[in-house]
Amino acid sequence: MNRLADILEDLAAADAATHHLRQLAATQPLDPVLAVNLDALLRRRGDLERQMAALLSAEQNDLIRIAVTGVDESSAPAADAARSVALFQRLLTAAFDAILTGAPKARYAPSPEAMERSTLHFVRPPSDSHEIHLAIANDYLLAIESDLDRALGLVCELLVLRSKVLIRELAQHLGIATVSAAYALFELAAAQRLSISIRWRKRDHERRKISVSHADARTMTTIIEAIHDDRMATVEQDCELLGIDEVGGSFRIAITGGQVISGDLTDGFPRGGAWTTRRWYRALLLRASRLGYADGEETVRWSLTGLVAQA
């Protein structure tokens, strides 16, 4: 990565010098020396861009630039910038794992291969543009997108969506774990009033550039917090009755394996039965679950519709 870092350093110096000369040229438009120097700098910059494109192609790397700024584009605290990069890494790995394995996940649990192949490598610290430069290995395939291309493209799409319906659709391909990872990044930006911009470059062209303000982040946290999947299922389970309160409408049972389940009696539960605690029954249950997209956590509520005594 040393050669890439050197080129980026030279590009930053060329940009700073070009900016300075353009300011001078605005006040001295007829100065021929300024014009010659500016032209030389622009040609130098073009050479550096071509060198970088050739190097990225030869080393099969993409360049990711992440800028994290505070209010009024001020420098963000180092801890917030580092945390933002770490959360983006988690987001990218979750998405890449879903595409690589073909198994979108509800909870973050990427395969070792996905973690290795989606790792971002530090190249250059922030400059005047606040951009942290990172490189990632990518297969440069002819005419088709690589798995990493797809993951990066869908991550960029996810970060700018503002629709619950579209986020649900994307989660079918990337998994709820990826949406939860995006939520964590939005949550940080909203809480710390950060703006985050991400630029993704392949070879000699920039594939995507996205920006997320802290206002955007607040909106996205609200949207994702409102997305969840509700499911209802009937379950029959052998159990030991630990307690039942027909007046209060509650029950408590232990199923095979020792798990304890408690919940409410349904309106249709037959009251007045001669229930005996510490006796085994066949429990007729309703399992109501809610899976939240913000954290990938599942909450479960149980209801008891009936008990059948076992001989």
Per-domain boundaries in the chain: 60-226, 229-309
Please state, in angstroms and rounded to a whole number, the distance separating the CA atoms of residues 299 and 304. 17
Tell me the residue ranges of DSSP E strands in the chain: 61-69, 121-124, 131-137, 195-202, 205-212, 228-245, 250-255, 260-265, 280-292, 298-309
Instruction: Give the separation between CA 100 and CA 111, rounded to whole angstroms.
Output: 9
Domain 229-309 has CATH 2.40.50: yes
Q: In the prediction, which pLDDT does 56 show? A: 85
Tell which wins on pLDDT, 131 or 301.
301
- Sheet containing strand 61-69, edge to edge, reads 121-124, 131-137, 61-69, 195-202, 205-212
Whether residue 9 has pLDDT greater than 90 = no
C-alpha distances (whole Å) from 119 to each of 61, 86, 180, 190 are: 12, 10, 19, 26
Mean pLDDT over 84-98 rounds to: 98
Position 145 pLDDT exceeds 90: no
